[in-house]
């Protein structure tokens, strides 16, 4: 009996996970039999955006070579919001690099809504302007929807006019909002499978979350970037425990809510694709300085995801690149509203 017990003990000693996980190889390294953790592939938005801008540049050169003037983008900036000014600067810089001419029209935050609408109408009627956008947000005394709808649909390179929104929701040709457009292009160029997959969009803003949900679920027959995915939208009133239920079953998670570390590693499954649209400024305890982070716990989630976008360097550059693509399309009169 004692010999049988000893034999069983030796078998446990040889085979038990507890033993194997603590056994050191002859080279001194720890022999570990647990599930091997992997690092997600980083979707490099900077490199991809550069590629798209070069494509637009070549398209502009071909357009000009045929005798057309370069495309022109007009940007209206109201007030002195530093973040808005930074975004506008990035857009005009990208336009210049792509061969697109641009102008930034600065107006004080005290301008009335009526005066702003008059300016937009003037630019709408200017044949020398192909693309037109009013940088958001606008001052509190203005109605954002009124301002967005004032931009002529054929010049609405932000894709915010209700006509463009309605058309792409109905699978009609239209300008797509630049950020959702950029996200979907990232997914397409990375080769991520979306057909029949479970996609969860966290955030329901009319400029990002809602358009993303529409593009994710829409039939690919209507546009190459549409995804044919089974899509769920979560928002501020989705109970926390239910949010986790949705994210744990998701093959693709896109987060755009503005809450640091909203999505953590314990909320996702192995192999998930994570696109982080969030931009948040937080204090870095190591340096005592502010730094940019997204809505996803990058360090933790990247240990389980198959693909993930960084912040910064992910979706942001793609937004600007797709705006250039929209401006080129506007110059060509690619969409008709007649």
Residue (of 44, 51, 43, 325) closest to 179 by Cα position: 325
Residue 203, phi-psi category: left (phi > 0), alpha (psi -120 to 50), beta (remainder) = left
Element (H, E) at 169: helix 162-169
Report how far residue 47's alpha carbon sits from residue 329's, in angstroms, rounded to the nearest whole number: 22
Helices 315-331 and 45-65: angle between axes, nearest 10 degrees: 10
Other C-beta atoms lying within 10 Å of the C-beta of residue 235: 13
Give the integer Cα–Cα distance in Å for 269 and 252.
Answer: 10
Are 178 and 212 a contacting pair, CB within 8 Å? no
Distance of CA 81 to the CA centre of its chain: 22
User: Are 155 and 73 within 8 A, CB to CB?
Assistant: no
Tell me the H-state helices in 191-280.
Answer: 209-217, 240-248
What φ, ψ does residue 81 adopt, rounded to 5°? -65, 120
Query: Which residues does the annotation mark as catalytic?
Result: 91, 135, 158
d(CA 75, CA 77) in angstroms, rounded, equals 6
As a residue count, the chain comes to 338
């Amino acid at each position: 009996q004692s010999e049988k017990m000893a034999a069983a003990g030796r078998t446990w000693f040889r085979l038990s996970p507890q033993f194997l996980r603590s056994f050191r190889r002859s080279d001194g390294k720890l022999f570990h039999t647990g599930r091997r953790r992997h690092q997600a592939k980083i979707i490099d938005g900077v490199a991809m955006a550069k590629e798209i801008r070069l494509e637009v540049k070549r398209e502009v050169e071909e357009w000009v070579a045929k005798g057309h003037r370069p495309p022109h983008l007009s940007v209206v900036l109201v007030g002195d919001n530093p973040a808005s000014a930074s975004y506008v600067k990035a857009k005009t810089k990208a336009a210049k690099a792509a061969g697109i001419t641009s102008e930034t029209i600065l107006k004080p935050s005290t301008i009335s809504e009526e005066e702003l609408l008059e300016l937009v109408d003037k630019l709408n009627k200017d044949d020398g302007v192909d693309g037109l956008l009013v940088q958001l947000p606008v001052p509190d005394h203005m109605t954002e929807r009124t301002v967005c709808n004032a931009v002529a649909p054929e010049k609405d390179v932000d894709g915010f006019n209700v006509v463009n929104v309605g058309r792409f929701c109905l699978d009609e040709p239209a300008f797509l909002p630049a950020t959702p457009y950029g996200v979907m292009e990232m997914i397409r160029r990375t080769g991520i499978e979306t057909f029949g997959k479970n996609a969860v969009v966290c955030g329901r803003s009319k400029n990002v979350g809602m358009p993303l949900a529409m593009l994710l679920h829409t039939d690919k027959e209507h546009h190459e970037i549409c995804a044919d995915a089974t899509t769920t939208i979560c928002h501020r009133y989705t109970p926390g425990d239910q949010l986790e239920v949705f994210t744990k079953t998701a093959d693709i998670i896109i987060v755009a809510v503005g809450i640091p570390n909203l999505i953590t590693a314990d909320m996702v499954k192995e192999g998930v694709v994570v696109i982080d649209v969030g931009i948040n400024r937080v204090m870095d305890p190591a340096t005592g300085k502010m730094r940019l982070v997204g809505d996803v716990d990058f360090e933790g989630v990247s240990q389980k995801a198959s693909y993930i976008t960084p912040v910064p360097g992910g979706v942001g550059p793609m937004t600007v690149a797709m705006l250039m693509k929209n401006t080129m399309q506007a110059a060509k009169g690619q969409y008709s509203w007649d």
